[in-house]
Amino acid sequence: MAIRNRLSEIKILKSWIVFLMDVVICLVVTLVSVAVASVLFSGEIQEYLMLKFFAYSLFSSFVSVYLCKTYRVVIRHFAFKDVKLLLLVSFVKVFLLFCICFLRNGFSSALPDIYYGSFLLDLLLTVVVLIFTRLFMIFVYDGIKRYVTSERSGDDVLIYGIGEKSAGLINYFIDSKLYNIKGFLAYDIKKTSLSIGDFRVYGFTDKIELERIFNKVGAKYVLFPTYKDLDRETDRLVKMAQDSGIKMLISPKIDQVHPNNGVLKLGIREIKIEDLLGRASIELDLTKVREEFQGKTVLVTGAAGSIGSELCRQLAKLGVSRLVMFDSAESPLHEHRLEMEEKYGREVELYPIIGDVRIKKRLDFVFNKYRPNVVFHAAAYKHVPLMEENPCEAVYVNVVGTRNVADIAVKYGVERFVMVSTDKAVNPTNVMGATKRTAELYVQSLGKSIKEGKVEGKTKFITTRFGNVLGSSGSVIPRFRQQIEKGGPLTVTDERVNRFFMSIPEACRLVLEAGTMGNGCDIFIFDMGNPVRIVDLATRMIELAGYVPNKEIKIKFTGLRPGEKLYEELLNDQETTLPTENKKIRIAQTREADYAEINASVKRFESLVQEVDILSTVKELKKLVPEFKSQNSRFEELDQ
């Protein structure tokens, strides 16, 4: 075991060792070439000539290897393209030998034939010996690695695909202590003799064949090199693997590879349900976004929430100078503060502020003290059934609170105000969605009034609208995970219910980019891909957990909750969209409201919610948002 551990530590030869090795090879080849040429041309080895060429070659070999830098090429990664360096070494060495010999001969006459014969042999043999030495060392190295990995405790893996990215993963697994490559897996490959390097390619066409391959090889995982490969196989290999109890892994992109003690290691992980939502992850070029926010003071409301906290992380990475984290939740803000200080405390000034968007004086104090350049307004109540039961609080936070933050942002000359909205604001069927649509109308009308000169200020108002975010507090996926851990059942409201989904990081990246666009008053909507049926999501999660849906773990339908609708929308029927420079972001052409009218409504809201006048509050909402039609709610009677 000690020998195995010592051998496993072998990575690369030090460059000075490779340098000396190449010099010695070049020197020995020259002596062999001179000896052979001597026998061919004179019938005997001329010792004086050998001694003279030893001195000449020692110098020319040293200089040629040093100039051509062959010692910098890692031998175990030696490839055909590196042969040109070895050719160059050979030419340089022989050219230097020729020059030295011609100089020593005094330029008086031509060199003897024996010299030219040795030069020609030297030129050919140097290249051949250098190449074969490297191939031999690679062969020995592979043998050592096979010996070391023969008793490795890591899990056996089959890599999906036979493309360049699949083959490229071999190098990353050479030193892995977690995973051992057992071969490659490809759909409908008939030639069983096909291989990549030392690894065989196994072809499959159905589940039975797949199971036979994994049983024969003894592999535990199938590794997908890219998200595109995973998407391509969602309805074939992924489903077969789930049915057969085969686990799946995903390899990250190169910008997701993290440095660890100076060594780049792949963050291989098991496939999560987020990877199976039917679309590739959204990637953005954040260069323009960095230029917009770098060095500025940014305030985030709802900073301890799912979206707000991720906005804070990404803003810190973009190089803002000061980050004001505003939230009313004490414990979550405390935990978020500790995380941010640990990760970004040296680069960004962090200010965690306890406060409530409903209290204008507290907001005024914070804005006056920190003078933010940009505001991201993510503070909101979001849970549909809970807000249906507490409509006054929903209006107080989502409408009055938004009015308060927007007005004070204008007062203190904030450059940009970015509001985080939701797809539930489109044709709302619940109080929560109606309050978010009202908030959209307020900030949009305020921005328009500023542009028209009716309200003094310079703030540009941007609204971002998107669907459900994966993994946020109270969302469906964490709920399903908890139910699976308890053995089920998984509760789904209706078999027909579907939703748009997006991961928290990509949603926040789009929010940041949208925050740099437009001239104010715009509502940006995001490309959420295709909607996903919640029952399909539940089924996939059960399968990923290794259970059989509706046998080992049941799916139970509970009926729509108050205010819930079957299908979410990103635009209402009267709205159209305009493109932006980013194809994942579009501008919604929405109905606009008169600022004076909506401002008066918000003042009425403020009075009604303080009196906890529930019916009058909801009536005012329906008056302001005429498309708000309650569903499965006690407020349906107000629509008649």
Task: Enumerate the β-bridge partners of residue 522.
Answer: 462
Q: Per-10-residue mean pLDDT for the chain, 640 residues long?
A: 46 74 87 83 74 84 84 69 81 86 66 79 86 80 62 73 77 66 80 69 86 85 80 79 78 43 42 56 71 92 92 92 95 95 92 96 97 95 92 96 97 94 88 94 93 92 81 72 85 82 78 80 76 82 76 86 71 62 75 88 94 94 92 87
Task: Enumerate the β-bridge partners of residue 490.
Answer: 555
DSSP 239: H
| pLDDT value of residue 575 | 53
Per the CB < 8 A criterion, the answer to whether 75 and 134 are in contact is yes
Per the CB < 8 A criterion, the answer to whether 326 and 311 are in contact is no
Query: 132 by DSSP, 3-state: which?
Result: helix
Strands (E), 103-262: 155-160, 179-187, 195-196, 199-204, 221-224, 247-250, 258-260
> What type of residue sits at position 395?
V
| pLDDT value of residue 104 | 74
Helices 207-217 and 237-244 meet at what angle, rounded to 10? 60
Distance CA 39, CA 521 (A): 92
**Active-site entry in 182, 424, 448, 584:** 424
| pLDDT value of residue 313 | 93
Domains recognised in the chain with CATH numbers: 2-148 (no CATH), 155-271 (3.40.50.720), 292-469+501-529+570-636 (3.40.50.720)
424 is known as an active-site residue: yes
| pLDDT value of residue 118 | 83
Q: What SS3 string covers 59-100? A: HHHHHHHHHHCHHHCCHHHCCHHHHHHHHHHHHHHHHHHHHH
